[in-house]
Amino acid sequence: MADKQPLIQPDRGQEAISIHLVNRDGFQGWVKKLSASQRAALEAQKFDGSGYQVGIVPDGDSWFAVGGVANPDELSSWCMARLAESLPAGTYRRAEGEPGPALHGWQTAQYVFDRYKQPERPVGPRVLLTKEVKAIDPAIAEAEAVCLVRDLVNTPAEDMGPAALEEQCEALAKKHSATLKVTKGDALEQEYPMVHAVGRAAARHHAPRIMQLSWGKEGDPVLAIVGKGVCFDSGGLDVKSAAGMLLMKKDMGGAAHAIALADLVMGAGLPVRLHLLVPAVENAISGNSFRPGDVLKSRKGLTVEIGNTDAEGRLILGDALQRASEEKPELILDFATLTGAARIALGPDYPALMTREDATAEALIAAGKAHDDEPWRLPLPDAYREWLNSDIADTSNAHANSFAGASVAGLFLDKFVGEGIDWAHFDTFAWRPQAKPGRPKGGDAYGLRAAWHMLRARFGGG
């Protein structure tokens, strides 16, 4: 976040700059209430109420702000984000009504990734007041979760390798008094053979591991959250092109989502027995890289022929999903930057969603629509399962044709989820190629808020 102090605070009548929200349809009627000099100021700024416009209006010795929105009566998460990006440091309140869902974008708009480069002209915090006091803490937690995903994804692989993801999980466990088990070395090879095989070529300080965090009462329903933690993906021996490798620091975006979601679950005290699983590897190239044509053992006992070493994320998820299934969870959610096919189909803004249960898909989509984070469901077609057949192993990790890549990857994961378990898989991009209000270019969360609000509704978290 832009500053440590809360960017959302209770409105107790303290001094603040007013923000008026208007749209194009209502602008002419609203502007008639202003003085001639105020109207001239807005005209000079070419303000007409269009979406995301920001205007400054002089008012005696002070001023107020005006923002263009689609509908002042039905705000979205992003309606006040441009204001938060553009206005000077200070304290603000909406003049007519409360900000409601716009609390989210107000905070995320002030996100700055400054680990390696300080802004040339840093701006202090823009604080927004609200009388909806009960909404403040949940809104802050949700925005912090999104910004955590951004921080983790934006950090280059040298500083966000498997050991750094382990440190994130350690901090999370300490924060919420959870139990953390880390498996690596010889134990990893025995217990999670596919995680070990994918990560074994990396340098020692980026050695593979899997983190398992447990939290909550034993008698509560079990919720498993799994995140793909490929901290850098060279493609392995099926090496990627230079262009294809450029953004591969973000290939641990699924782990970032899973860690952030687990933080929300524990922070809200959701009545669940949580199991967070983060397999963390670097898919590197060296003399002991796993090879095309190799057959790997898996934790489940299935053998997997390697059709492509660049389809490695599904391998580490397979072992993690098997471990999650052993807890007999009521629900498994997994997040992964898994396939280019999902991005070709849906672009960056819509995470691909695959589920076994229609009701789970419907709940996630409804939660996403309500909170401006809509996933798009793709099928898990039985007709395509045969594309993963292998002549020498129980399954292949990649199919030979170029059809339905996201769904076929989902079908591979489905093999490692226990029978009868409700399971949802997010194939998310975790990267924003172009900035939008409240959403700067770089690492970003897609599907996180949809999952979080579905979980709150399902497990009674408020």
- Asked if 101 and 88 count as a contact pair (C-beta separation under 8 A), the reply is no
The stretches of 112-236 forming alpha helices (DSSP H) are: 136-154, 162-176, 185-191, 193-199
DSSP 8-class letter at 5: S
4 is catalytic: no
Closest by Cα among 2, 6, 5 to 130: 6
- Active-site residue identified among 273, 299, 300, 314: 314
Residue 362 tokens, joined: 């419907």
Whether 314 is a known active-site residue: answer yes
DSSP 134: G
- Residues 308, 397: contact at Cβ < 8 Å? yes
Catalytic residue among 240, 297, 385, 456: 240
Q: Is the dihedral of CA 138, 22, 73, 133 positive or negative?
A: positive
Residues 358 and 421: their CA atoms lie apart, in Å, by 13
As a whole number of angstroms, the distance between CA 33 and CA 276 comes to 55
C-beta of residue 412 within 8 angstroms of C-beta of residue 397? yes
CA distance 296 to 214: 28
- Active site amino acids: 240, 314
